[in-house]
């Protein structure tokens, strides 16, 4: 492959960058999967965080929508929070439970989750290019025997690249409209959305939505 040829010629810059990107994606994976996604831990903490939650709420949310008590952990849920039965916790600004990282994506780790997906996509695209550069197709059984691992790796990289790309695009679209995956999928079942005059009462424009999410 291209990276192998560069190593053999003593050109180590690109191989080192590739290794750093792979290492960075692994570290981001563990960071996102192990960190607190924004668990609601007590009534006192929920009240203390109410002012922070208010920054995500606009005047179009009906005033009669009150904080409700979770039927599972019996804590008062801030608006946009949801109980995750897999994590056994209520999560602030709940987006979804990701089986790949084994953790919820919520208020605290959602921005880092987007960074992780972005780095992972770069690694997959580069890895796909590296695998492709090592394939020189020949119509023979011997060629297939010697290249089966590399060919399988390339096909797997293509599949994962498509998955990560679609996931990243969908998340960026939802972030740009200040909507979570849970709110998008369950709009008709969420009280503060069902009773709102607007389809999305949290949308404050693409620029401000992105700024508040990432900054």
pLDDT for res 143: 67
Q: Is the pLDDT of residue 56 over 70?
A: no
Residue written as token pair 């904080």: 67
Confidence of residue 190 (pLDDT cuts 50, 70, 90): confident
Confidence of residue 176 (pLDDT cuts 50, 70, 90): very high
Up-side HSE of residue 67: CA atoms within 13 Å toward CB?
Answer: 18
Q: Is the pLDDT of residue 44 over 80?
A: no
CB atoms within 10 A of CB 73: 15
Confidence of residue 45 (pLDDT cuts 50, 70, 90): low
Give the whole-number percent of the chain exceeding pLDDT 90: 53
Q: What are 91-147's pLDDT values in tens digits?
A: 999 999 999 999 999 999 999 999 999 999 999 999 999 888 877 766 677 767 777
Task: Enumerate the active-site residues.
Answer: 98
Does 11 or 52 have the greater pLDDT score? 11
Write out the H or E segment, with its range, that includes residue 105. Answer: strand 103-105
Query: Lowest-pLDDT range, 43-57, 133-147, 148-162, 179-193?
Result: 43-57
Q: Rounded CA gap, 168 and 102, in Å? A: 18
**67 and 79 Cβ atoms separated by less than 8 Å:** yes
Delimit the domains of the chain by residue range: 2-36+108-214
Does 185 or 43 have the greater pLDDT score? 185
pLDDT for res 46: 46
Mean of the pLDDT values across residues 44-67?
A: 52
- Considering the chain, what is the average pLDDT of its residues? 85
Confidence of residue 43 (pLDDT cuts 50, 70, 90): low
Mean of the pLDDT values across residues 68-75?
A: 83
Q: Is the pLDDT of residue 10 over 90?
A: no
CA 79-102-55 angle, to 5 degrees, is 25
């Amino acid at each position: 492959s291209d990276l192998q040829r560069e190593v053999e010629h003593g050109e180590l810059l690109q191989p080192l960058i590739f290794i750093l990107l792979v290492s960075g994606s692994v570290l981001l994976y563990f960071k996102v999967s192990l960190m607190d996604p924004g668990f609601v831990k007590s009534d006192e903490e929920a009240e203390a965080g109410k002012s922070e939650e208010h920054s995500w709420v606009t005047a179009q949310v009906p005033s009669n929508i009150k904080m409700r008590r979770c039927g599972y952990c019996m804590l008062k849920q801030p608006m946009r929070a949801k109980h995750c039965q897999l994590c056994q916790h209520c999560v602030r600004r709940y987006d979804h439970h990701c089986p790949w990282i084994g953790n919820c994506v919520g208020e605290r780790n959602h921005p880092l989750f987007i960074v992780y997906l972005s780095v992972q996509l770069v690694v997959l695209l580069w890895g796909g290019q590296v695998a492709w550069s090592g394939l020189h197709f020949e119509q023979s059984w011997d060629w297939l025997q010697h290249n089966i691992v590399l060919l399988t790796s390339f096909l797997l990289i293509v599949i994962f690249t498509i998955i990560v790309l679609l996931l990243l695009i969908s998340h960026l679209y939802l972030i740009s409209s200040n909507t979570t995956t849970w709110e998008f999928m369950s709009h008709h079942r969420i009280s503060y959305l069902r009773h709102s005059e607007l389809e999305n009462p949290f949308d404050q424009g693409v620029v401000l939505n992105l700024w508040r999410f990432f900054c």
